[in-house]
Amino acid sequence: MRKKIIEMRGIVKSYYLGTPNELEILHGIDLDVYEGEFLSIVGPSGSGKSTLMNILGALDRPTQGHFFLDQLPMENVKDEGLSKIRNEKIGFVFQTFNLIPRSSALNNVALPMLYGGKSRSVRTKRAKELLELVDMTARSHHRPNELSGGQKQRVAIARAMANDPAIILADEPTGALDTHTGRMVMDIFHRLHQEQGKTIILITHNTELALETERTIRLKDGSIVENKINEKIQLEGSYESA
């Protein structure tokens, strides 16, 4: 029996737009994710995927329901505690990369370790290793505006890995990339999943990419409408040989 890393029960998220007309986005989500799983979340635009991911990533709190992250009940955690959880247990990869524009690739990767209180030498060493892992060593001193989209996303993945998190949350990481670079990014995720046993939750609009993952959740209008185990498909991608 694998360890449950995420357990969600009856998660509701509402927004208050003025007092009377409350806007409920998520209507009671139940979700379990096991350690080492590669999960994809699909669904039409506006269905609440990003909203769900913000809750999964401890960026936001649900309006109702229970959420256990690594067995820890999140409703008891204070804001400072959420910061610590984001820093230690979560690695975010965003569609628009979200790198710090004034910092070099190396400093961007080192940033979560800085907030984690690691020493400068440890940060630099680890950041270099991670840039090596995503094949970005040559660009480690470049700033984000000197990098292509695919390169930025590789730096962002390296940054997500900085504190060796339990879960990587990727919200449409290939959404801003062409098929080829998107493929490259997906290969990196597969490698992290297979070689390092990372739990990865991937939000995507691309059904083909979703099929590459072990399990797909389909959201519609704020509810889970499908939870499907994908057959193992043989990828002709380069990640196995890399």
Partner 1 sequence: MNLLENIRLALEGLRANKMRALLTMLGIIIGIASVMAISTLGSAMTGSVSKTMDKIGGKNISVSLTPKNYDSQATLQPEDYITQDELNSFKETYADQIRAISLSSSLGSGKLNSGYVHKDVSVTGANPDYRLVNNINLVQGRFISDRDIQSSRNVIIIDTTLRNNLVGVNGDPTGMDITVKTKNTNETYTIIGVYEKVVIDNPLFNMGDDTRIECFIPITTAMSLNSASTSIPGYDNFTIMASANADTTAFAQITKQYFIKNMGALSDYTIEAQSMEAMVSEATSMLSTLSLGISVIAGISLLVGGIGVMNIMLVSVTERTKEIGIRKALGARNSAIRSQFIIEAIIICLIGGIIGVGLGSVLGVLGSSLLKFPSTPPVGPMIIALCFSMGIGVFFGYYPANKAAKLNPIDALRYE
Judged by the rule CB under 6 A, the positions of this chain that interact with ligand ATP are 15, 23, 25, 43, 45-51
Please report whether residue 116 would count as binding partner 1 according to CB under 8 A: yes
Binding test (CB under 8 A) with partner 1, winner from 1, 17, 20, 117: 117
- The region, left, alpha or beta by phi > 0 then psi within -120 to 50, assigned to residue 171 is beta
Cα dist. 19→15, 22, 23, 28, 60 in Å? Answer: 10, 7, 10, 22, 20
For Mg ion, the closer of residues 131 and 177 by Cβ is 177
The closest of 14, 7, 95, 99 to 56, measured between CA atoms, is 7
- Note whether 135 binds partner 1 by CB under 8 A: no
| 42, 225 contact by CB (below 8 A) | no
x/- map, 68-87, partner 1, by CB under 8 A: -----------xx--xxxxx
Burial of 80 (0-12, 13-18, 19+ CB in 10 A): exposed
Question: Is residue 114 close enough to count as binding partner 1 by CB under 8 A?
Answer: yes
C-alpha Rg value of the chain to the nearest Å: 18
Selected binder of partner 1 within 163, 174, 204, 213 (CB under 8 A): 163
Q: And the tokens for 43? A: 């669904």
Closest distance of CB 39 from ligand ATP, Å: 15
CB of 53 to Mg ion, least distance (A): 8
CA angle, 37 then 38 then 39, to 5°: 105
Report if residue 20 touches partner 1, rule: CB under 8 A.
no
Residues that bind Mg ion (CB under 5 A): 50
Q: What is the contact surface with partner 1 in residues (CB under 8 A)?
A: 54, 57, 59-60, 79-80, 83-88, 92, 94, 98-103, 111-112, 114-117, 120, 159, 163
